Structure 1
Amino acid sequence: MKKNVLKIIFILFCCFNLNAQNKIDKIDLTYGEEIPDDKGKIVKIIGEANNKIYTLILKGKSDYFLKIFDSAKMKQISLNPLVLPELNDKDVEFEEITIMNDKLYVIGSVYHRKEKKFTLVGIPISEKGILGKDMITLFESIVAKSSDRGGFYFKKSPDDQMMLIMHTALFEKEDAMKYEMKLFDENLKSVFSAEEKVSYDDNKKDYQFTISDFDLNNSDDIFLVVNEGYRDKKKKEKVEKVELHIFKKANSYKKEVVKIDVIDKEIINCKMLATSKNDVKLTGFFSSVRDNGKANKELKGVYNMTVNLSKNTTENVVFNEFDLATKIKLLGERRANKGKDVKPLYNIHTIIEKNDGGLIVLSEYQTVYVGQKQGIGPFGLQPVTYTMNEMIVTSMKPDGTLDWSNVVPKEQAASITVATFNIFAGSSSGSFNVAVGLAIPLGVMGKGPEYLSVIPIYRNGKLNILFNDNIKNKGITDIEKIKSMGNYNNAVPTLFVFDERGNITRKDPEEVIKNELVIRPGVFCRKNDNEFIIYASRKSNDKLGRMILLD
C-alpha cells in the first residue's frame, strides 16, 4: 500500500512538472506533448497548414528531416528524412524549405563546374512528408567561376502566398556584379524575372559596393537596394550613392530607379521595409566623416529614407544621432560625456512598421568569435562563441525624425564546437559585398545559439520584447546592474514592454519553477501579431508550444 501511495505521489509530481510554467503577466504559454527523443533538434518551424505544424530537424552535421505535428495537441505525427535526389549525377544540396498556400516545398542547389552554372530546384512534399519525384527548375544562373558563384536568398510575401528568390554573383574580371531575381507563386511558377549586371569602380578611395537588401510588399511589387560609397580625394568628401530598384506589378515589372545621394556621412548598413502606406523605408546606421573625407566607422546614429512609391520620389532623408541618455547606457557616462561614438558591433535585428506609419528599429550587439582550429586537415575542430547582448530600440516618427530610443539590457552567449565553420552567411570579395540573409547557420542551430536573442511582438501600438535571462536579473532594467545569462539551460523568460514614450516595464515570472522548459527565441513561427508557435527544451525534453500576447 505504501509503495502504491509513493507511486501516485511520484506520478502527480511528474504531471505537475510537465504542466507547470514560468508564468508571465500578459503572456499565455501552452505546450503540447513531449517530443520523442530521436537525437535530432528542431532548427526551423516551417509553418502551420492543413491542421498540421511542419518543422525542420537536423541530426548530426547535415542530415535533415521533416517532422510533422498535429496542430491541436502538438503531438508528433511523422518523421521523414529529406533525402534530396541527384541532378546530372550530382547531389542536390539543401537550401531552404517553405510553405506557400498550404503547399510544402524543399529547395536545393547544384553547381555544374564545366558549364559554370548554378542551378536551383524545388521539390514538392506531400502532406505526409514524402518528397515528390519531380524537380522544378527555378534558376540556371551562369557564373564566372566556382569561387564566385555567389548564393541564393529567399523572402516570403507578407501573406505567405509568393516567394521572391535572388541570386547574386561576382564577375571580378568585368568589375561587375550580377543579380537575378524571380518571383514564384504557390506552384513554383515564375511570374516575374529580372537580371542585371551592375558595374562598379573599385579604383576609387575607400570604395565599397553592397547589395544591401531586397523585399516585396502586399501588392507583389519588388524592391532591391544597392549602396556605393567612396572618398573623393580632391574634394575631401565622403560620397554615398543609394539606389532603390523598383519593379511594380501594375507597371508590368518595368524597372524604375530612385537615387539618393549623401555627402559627408557614411552609410554603415542599409535595410528596407516595404510598408502598408505605399512607400519604402530605408534605414540603418551611419557614421561621421573627418575633414579629409575619411569615415570614422563608429556608429553615430540611425537614419531614415522614405521613398514614395506613387511618385517614385524621396520624401525624407533624416539622420538621427544617438541622444545622450542612450549613449550613456551603451558607453557609460564618462565616455558618453566625452562625445565618444558607439562601436560598430550592432546589427539590425528587426524593423517594425508602427501604426502611425513610423518605424521601430531593433539593433542587437552581435559578435562571433572563432577560436583556433585544433586537429589536422579537414578533421580539425573549432570552438565558436556567439554573443548577443543589449539591443538598441529606436522609434521614429512617420517623417523619419526620432520619436524615442532606449536600450534593452541583456548579456547572452553560447559556445559550441564545430568541424568546419563559415562566419559569413552572405558573400563578399574585396570591395563587393552582399549583406542580405545574414543569420546563424542552420548547421549550428540546435546546439545553443538558438537560445539567444529575442522575440519581438508589436501589438496595439506597443512593443514587447521576450528573451531568456538570468534569474538574478528579476526586476532589473539598469544595464549597469544586470548579470550575464550564463547557462542558458537555467534561463527564465522575461518580457520588456515599451509604452508610447519608450519607457520600459519589465515583467518576470511571478514564481520561478525549477527544471522548466526554456524557450528558444531563435526558432519560432509568427502566426499573427499576437500568436506564435514556439519551441522549448529542457535537456532531452523538447516540446512545441503556443505563445499568445494577451490584451
Structure 2
Amino acid sequence: MIKKMMCLIMMVGLSLLVNAQNIGPISITHGKEIEADKEKIVRIAGEANGKIYTLATKGKNFYIKVFKSDDMALISTNEIEMSDFKDKEPEFEEIAVLDGKVFILGSVYDKKAKIANLLAVEISEDGKLTSNAKKLFSTKVTKKRERGAFYIKESPDRDRLLILHAALFDKEEVIQYEIKLINNNLDILMEQIEKVPFNDRKGLEFDIADFDVNFNDDVFIVINESFRDRKTKTNHEKFQLHAFKSSNGFKKEVIDIAFTNKEIINCEMLAGEDGKVRLVGFYSSVRKNGKANKELKGVYASVVDVNAKSVDQLKFNEFDYDTKVKLLGERRAKKGKDVKPLYVTHSLVQKSDGGLILLSEYQLIIVGRPSGIGPLQITPITHINNEIIVTSIAPDGSVDWANVIPKKQKASYSSLAIGFAAFAGNSNFTVSASVSVPIGVLGKGPEYLSAMPIYENGQLTVLFNDNKKNYGITDIEDIKWLGNYNKAVPAAIMFDDNGVMTRVDQEDVEKHQLVLRPRVHYRSTPTEYIIYSSRKSEDKLGRMKKD
C-alpha cells in the first residue's frame, strides 16, 4: 500500500512538472492531454465563446478541433468537408475567428471560365460547418498556371479579414492584384483591383511588399518596383504606399517614398491609429552602372503621415561592424562585404518609447531532386531557420542597437507536392507580404523551427527550440545544429535597453518533456500566447506568458 502511495505521489509530481515550465521570465502551463491526437494541430485560429478553435490535419484531410478555454480539454473533432463548387471541392486556405464567429476559407479554380474563386463558410460553436456560406472572390485570370494565390491577414481588432489575390498574366505582360476587406458578417467593406503593365519595362521587378489594415478600417498596400534603364544606366525605384481610408470612401491615395542610389529589398509595415504608417526593412546599394547589388547593406526606417500625404521620416542605417562580424565572420566584415539576402522579416514590435524592434530571420528552403515514377515522385525538402538579426530602431529612425540571436535549426521531410503559394509568379513578380510556411507543410517538422518574441515593460524576450548542447552558449561560432527537433529543449534570449543579450536555459529538463512548436500559436494578448506542444504520441495545448 505504501509503495502504491509513493508511486502515485511521484506520478502526480511528474505530471505537475511536465504541465508547468519556466524559462527565465517565460512561464508555460499546459492543459489536459489530447487523447484523440491522430490529427496534428497546424493552426490555432482563436478563442471565442469559452472555446479554442484549431485546425488539424491527418494525411490530406483537415479537421476542426474545439477545446475548452479553461482546462484546454478536447470537446470535438470534425472533418472539414466543404460542398463541391464548380464540380470541385475547395482547397483549404485559412481558418479565422472574427469577433466571436468562426470561418473557414477555401479556393476553387474554375478552369472553363478561368476564374479564381474564394469561398467562406461559417462554423458553428461545436466546430461543424453551417449553411452560412458566401463567395468572396471571383477574379478573372488567364489559366491554371497563372491563377495566382490568396494572402490573408486579420485586423488588429480581429473582427475583419483583409484578403489579397495576386496573379501574373505573362502573355499579356500584366501584373494584377485585388484586395478586399471583409467583416464578420462576410460583407465586403472595401475592394480594389489593380493592373500593372510591364510590356514597356523589360526586366521590371515588382513586389507587393506588405499590406495591412488599422483599427480605423483604413487599408494600406506597399508596392516596390525596380527597373534598370540600360540606355542611361540608371536604376529607377518606385517605393509607394497606397492608402484607402474609410473616412474617404476608400478612395485610392498614393504616397511616394523617394530616394536615390538604393534599392528596397523587403518591407514590414505597422499601421497605427494616429494616421502614421511605419515602414522598416532591408535595403541594398546600387552600383555605378545602375545595377542593384541585391545584398543587404542595412536597415531603413520610414514614417508616412497618411492624412498629410507626406513622408515625415526616411533614414537608412548601414549594418555596424560588430553585427557584420556575427553574420559574415571577421575576415569578410573587414573587407566591407554586404550580408546575403537570406533574411526575412520575422516580427515587428512597437517599443514603449515609440520606436520599433525588427526581427529578421535567416531562412532557406532547399528543394531536392524528385525521385520516383510519374505522379508518385517524392521531393525531398529541407527547411533551415538560423540566426535572427534583432534591430532596435529609435523614434527618429536611427538604430539604437543591433544584435544577433545565435541558433541553427533544420527540418527535412519528403512530399508529393510543394505548393509554396507565397512565392507565386516568376522571379520578377513576388508577393513577399505575409510570406509564411504553407499549412500543408506544417506537421512535417518546420513547425518546430523559428522563434516567438514577447515584449513587455521595455524588455524583449525571444523563445525558441534548441539543442541541449548549446546550453549557455551565445557565441554564434560555437552553436551546434538542432537536428532532431523531437529532442529539442526551450531556450530564451533576453535583451536589455542597450541590446546586451542574456541567454536563459530551462533547468531540470525532463526526458519526456513536451516540445514547443513556435510556428503554431495564437497571440491572445500582447504578452500571452496559446501554444501547441507535443512529443511522440502526447499532445497538449497550453498558455505561454511573461511573468
Partner of 1:144: 142
Check 1:458–1:186 CA distance in 2 against 1; reply closer, same or farther (3 A cut).
same
| Counterpart secondary structure, 2:192 | strand
Kindly report which structure 2 residues correspond to 1:26-65, keeping only aligned pairs within 5 A, or say none.
26-60=25-59, 62-65=60-63
Q: 1:8 Cα shift?
A: 4.5
Partner of 1:307: 304
* TM-score normalised by the chain length of structure 2: 0.96
Partner of 1:192: 190
Partner of 2:381: 384
| Counterpart secondary structure, 1:20 | helix
**Match status 1:433 vs 2:398:** no
Q: 1:511 Cα shift?
A: 2.1
Equivalent position amino acid for 2:438 in 1: P
Q: State how far apart, in whole Å, the 1-side matches of 2:418 and 2:114 are.
A: 25
CA contact (8 A) 1:532 1:547 kept: yes
Q: What are the Cα deviations for residues 111-153 of structure 1, in whole angstroms up to 9, with x where unaligned?
A: 1111111111111110011111242111111112222111111
Equivalent position amino acid for 1:533 in 2: I
* TM-score normalised by the chain length of structure 1: 0.96
Partner of 2:89: 91
Partner of 2:477: 480
Partner residue of 1:320 out of 317, 324, 343: 317
Partner residue of 2:261 out of 254, 260, 264: 264
CA contact (8 A) 2:37 2:538 kept: no
CA contact (8 A) 2:422 2:431 kept: no
| Counterpart secondary structure, 1:444 | coil
Q: State how far apart, in whole Å, the 2-side matches of 1:332 and 1:92 are.
A: 49
**Match status 1:530 vs 2:530:** no
| Counterpart secondary structure, 1:384 | strand
Partner of 1:281: 278
Equivalent position amino acid for 2:160 in 1: M
Q: 1:5 Cα shift?
A: 5.0
Partner of 2:119: 121
Partner of 1:497: 494
Partner residue of 2:205 out of 208, 217, 222: 208
**Match status 1:231 vs 2:228:** yes
Partner of 1:169: 167
| Counterpart secondary structure, 1:135 | strand
Partner of 2:345: 348
CA contact (8 A) 1:151 1:426 kept: no
Equivalent position amino acid for 1:92 in 2: P
Please, which runs of 5 or more residues in structure 1 have no aligned partner? none
Equivalent position amino acid for 1:467 in 2: F
Equivalent position amino acid for 2:48 in 1: A
Report the more deviating stretch, 51-60 or 286-295: 286-295
Q: State how far apart, in whole Å, the 1-side matches of 2:339 and 2:283 are.
A: 11
Q: 1:17 Cα shift?
A: 3.0
Equivalent position amino acid for 2:356 in 1: L
Q: What are the Cα deviations for residues 420-442 of structure 1, in whole angstroms up to 9, with x where unaligned?
A: 22345231125222222321111
Report the more deviating stretch, 81-90 or 232-241: 232-241
Q: 1:90 Cα shift?
A: 2.0
Partner of 1:159: 157
Please, which runs of 5 or more residues in structure 2 have no aligned partner? none
Equivalent position amino acid for 1:242 in 2: F
Kindly report which structure 2 residues correspond to 1:436-455, keeping only aligned pairs within 5 A, or say none.
436-455=433-452
Report the more deviating stretch, 82-91 or 407-416: 82-91
CA contact (8 A) 2:30 2:542 kept: yes
Report the more deviating stretch, 409-418 or 255-264: 255-264
Q: 1:245 Cα shift?
A: 0.8
Q: 1:173 Cα shift?
A: 3.5
Q: State how far apart, in whole Å, the 2-side matches of 1:37 and 1:483 are.
A: 35
Q: 1:507 Cα shift?
A: 1.5
Q: State how far apart, in whole Å, the 1-side matches of 2:378 and 2:199 are.
A: 39
Partner residue of 2:395 out of 383, 398, 407: 398
Partner of 1:362: 359
Check 1:11–1:37 CA distance in 2 against 1; reply closer, same or farther (3 A cut).
farther
Q: State how far apart, in whole Å, the 2-side matches of 1:454 and 1:372 are.
A: 29
Q: Considering only aligned residues, what root-mean-square deviation do their CA atoms show, in Å?
A: 1.6
Aligned residues: 545
Report the more deviating stretch, 97-106 or 427-436: 427-436
Equivalent position amino acid for 1:288 in 2: S
Partner of 2:504: 507
Partner of 1:104: 102
| Counterpart secondary structure, 2:33 | coil
Q: 1:6 Cα shift?
A: 4.9
Q: State how far apart, in whole Å, the 1-side matches of 2:2 and 2:235 are.
A: 79
Q: State how far apart, in whole Å, the 2-side matches of 1:27 and 1:283 are.
A: 28
Report the more deviating stretch, 478-487 or 39-48: 478-487
CA contact (8 A) 1:37 1:541 kept: no
CA contact (8 A) 1:303 1:318 kept: yes
Q: 1:226 Cα shift?
A: 1.0
CA contact (8 A) 2:238 2:258 kept: yes
Q: State how far apart, in whole Å, the 2-side matches of 1:104 and 1:354 are.
A: 32
Check 1:202–1:475 CA distance in 2 against 1; reply closer, same or farther (3 A cut).
farther
Q: State how far apart, in whole Å, the 1-side matches of 2:468 and 2:249 are.
A: 55
Check 1:381–1:6 CA distance in 2 against 1; reply closer, same or farther (3 A cut).
farther
Sequence identity percentage: 50
